[in-house]
Structure 1
Amino acid sequence: MALISTTPMLEKAKQDKHGIVAFNVHSFDSIFWVLEAAAELKSPVILQTTVGTVTSLGAENIVAVAKAASEYYNIPTGLHLDHCTNFEVIKEAIRAGYTSVMIDASMHPFEVNVAETKKVMDLAKSLGVNVEAELGKVGGVEDDIVVAEEDAEKAVPEECKQFIELTGVPTLAPAIGTAHGIYKGKPKIDFDRIAKIAELVDVPLVLHGGSAIPEEEVRHCVSLGMAKVNVSTELKNAYSEAIRQHFLDDPDALDPRAYLQKAKEAAKEMAKSKIRMVGSEGKVVPAFV
């Protein structure tokens, strides 16, 4: 199966009241074990990369590997560029074959965010590429984008409605109290704000900072209209912790096939738990296959 636009995936998920996990991948092998996890659970999935990963691996290389993996596992797969502030990088990703891109102009005034988002929409819409934008400021660290806790701002529901009307963007990531990375305390998600935004707009919403949020809270977010749930840190940590434990157990066991297999299995189990959490297990339908 070729890579597909995330727009119909997320619209169907919103309609059916389940989510789709977007997993940040940082290496070529991670693309395969994320799709292997999704295939075993018969779930649609989104692979997403940061700008740093594109710089490290190359957009065309990522697309080639993602295409090969999606065809091998025959699972509906989107490929998303996350949190990009650079229009030239977005063009590069689209040209290479990404099926979804995020323009993050949330650090700018509302009018500038609208203008930057429309610029990307003008490029992507005719090509069937999904566009995601952000309103408010999600706290934490994502690549080189750092938003201190005191600078995080929640999205204003009425502005979300106006933003969709002005830009036509098909997916929106409103800041609702989550943060990137692992939380130092209990996340304070504004469920009433999510409900109000979902009432005013008809596009799928995106939950950023999905790592380590209690499962029942993620499910509540999904039930309110958040169709895309981003997961990065927990996946990285599961993979890396398995490698660290391997060498703690046996410092001289240097065969990479051994420790990478352990890392893959740990990360796969983490990915499966997130797929089950959002309710997308078994959601591969004949229309996609």
Structure 2
Amino acid sequence: MSLVSTRELVAAAAAERRAVAAFNVITLEYAEAVTAGAAAAGIPVILQISENAVRFHGGQVAPIARAAAEAARAGGGDVALHLDHVTDIELLHKAADAGFSSAMFDAGAQPYAENLAATSAAARWAHGAGLWLEAELGYVGGKPGAPASAHAAGVRTDPEEAARYVADTGVDALAVAVGSSHAMTERSATLDHALIGRLREAVPVPLVLHGSSGVADDELRRAVAAGIAKVNIGTALGIAFTRAVRDALAADPAASDPRRYLSRGGEAIAETVRQLGAVVSG
């Protein structure tokens, strides 16, 4: 695979009315498995490393970012590297040096005025550093500070407000709240496809769907057809990996070589990426 920019992948997807799948990476095993699954599906892919993943690695972003980049280069297709859900401005400022071509600055839990001010500053810095910047408007469920339900009153992204927000912040892509939730373990989310269409008409930058692990295949296809250009998937990989490792250890309780069960987890992630990537990319 070759390391390309997120801007390039998302722009191509948006122009062709399809989407690019963006999978969250926690460890090197994840990065290797995601790139293998994308190669098997014959699709480009975005490897995302979240602020939470960086925290898991002791607050050090460079080691996992460079490992993911090397895994990308070892494969057979186009891969971009994206820093996801950043709230720490100091971490954002490390993105370019760590090899990311893009970042998602997350001020979505803040009141509108604070979100606007913080995101505008983040976008100015990011563009000065050559980074493509994604932001969020509205509250995607399932994360701290968000309403309990993705269907609660007032949580959906308003098209007119979104158009003003993009114009005022200068962001390159917008994550929108249309009915999905982070960290869902069942694929039962119901999306507002009409709202996605109105947002696509109102907003001049690509739209991003967060919380896509909880969205069924047909719902994902409809969301992409309505105007989603980047689809974020994380929890589905954790479910597949954990189930495979648990099954491997149950089948061999005396196992002590982690390569045996980690490889099973990696195979499960690769298959999940192959399946979901094909759905998203059409």
TM-score bin (small chain): over 0.9
Stretch of structure 1 that moved more, 147-156 or 265-274 = 147-156
**Which letter does structure 2 place at the counterpart of 1:3?**
L
How far does residue 128 in structure 1 lie from its aligned partner after superposition?
2.6
- Corresponding position of 2:9: 9
Relative to structure 1, the CA distance from residue 229 to residue 61 in structure 2 (aligned partners, 3 Å threshold; closer, same or farther) is: same
- Conserved? CA contact 1:139–1:152, under 8 Å: no
Whole-Å Cα distance in 2 between the matches of residues 213 and 250 of structure 1? 33
The alignment covers a number of residue pairs equal to 278
- Conserved? CA contact 1:132–1:171, under 8 Å: yes
- Corresponding position of 1:181: 183
- Corresponding position of 2:103: 101
- Conserved? CA contact 1:139–1:151, under 8 Å: no
Q: 2:155 aligns with which of 153, 156, 161?
A: 153
Whole-Å Cα distance in 2 between the matches of residues 210 and 187 of structure 1? 9
* Structure 2 portions without partners, runs of 5+: none
The yes-or-no answer on 1:55 pairing with 2:55 is yes
Stretch of structure 1 that moved more, 46-55 or 182-191 = 182-191
- Corresponding position of 2:244: 242
Give the alignment of 1:205-244 within 5 angstroms: 205-244=207-246
Relative to structure 1, the CA distance from residue 20 to residue 184 in structure 2 (aligned partners, 3 Å threshold; closer, same or farther) is: closer
Whole-Å Cα distance in 2 between the matches of residues 152 and 86 of structure 1? 26
- Conserved? CA contact 1:176–1:189, under 8 Å: yes
**Which letter does structure 2 place at the counterpart of 1:25?**
V
**Which letter does structure 2 place at the counterpart of 1:212?**
G
- Conserved? CA contact 1:182–1:212, under 8 Å: yes
* Structure 1 portions without partners, runs of 5+: 281-289
- Conserved? CA contact 2:13–2:19, under 8 Å: yes
Give the alignment of 1:1-289 within 5 angstroms: 3-57=3-57, 58-141=60-143, 147-149=147-149, 150=152, 153-182=155-184, 186-279=188-281
Whole-Å Cα distance in 1 between the matches of residues 172 and 187 of structure 2? 32
**Which letter does structure 2 place at the counterpart of 1:23?**
F
* Shift >3 Å, 4+ stretches: 144-147, 183-186
How far does residue 127 in structure 1 lie from its aligned partner after superposition?
3.0
Percent sequence identity over matched residues?
A: 35
- Corresponding position of 1:283: none
* RMSD of aligned alpha carbons: 1.9
Whole-Å Cα distance in 2 between the matches of residues 7 and 213 of structure 1? 25
- Conserved? CA contact 1:35–1:69, under 8 Å: yes
- Conserved? CA contact 1:154–1:174, under 8 Å: yes
How far does residue 264 in structure 1 lie from its aligned partner after superposition?
1.1
How far does residue 2 in structure 1 lie from its aligned partner after superposition?
5.5
Q: Residue by residue, what CA displacement relative to the aligned partner does 1:176-230 show, whole Å, maximum 9, x if unpaired?
A: 1110112668323111111101001121100001003111110111111111111
SS across alignment from 2:242: helix
How far does residue 146 in structure 1 lie from its aligned partner after superposition?
5.5
How far does residue 253 in structure 1 lie from its aligned partner after superposition?
2.4
Relative to structure 1, the CA distance from residue 117 to residue 3 in structure 2 (aligned partners, 3 Å threshold; closer, same or farther) is: farther
Whole-Å Cα distance in 2 between the matches of residues 2 and 268 of structure 1? 18
Whole-Å Cα distance in 1 between the matches of residues 87 and 121 of structure 2? 12
Stretch of structure 1 that moved more, 150-159 or 108-117 = 150-159
Stretch of structure 1 that moved more, 91-100 or 191-200 = 91-100
Q: Residue by residue, what CA displacement relative to the aligned partner does 1:25-76 show, whole Å, maximum 9, x if unpaired?
A: 1111211111111122221101112212112332111221122122211422
SS across alignment from 2:104: strand
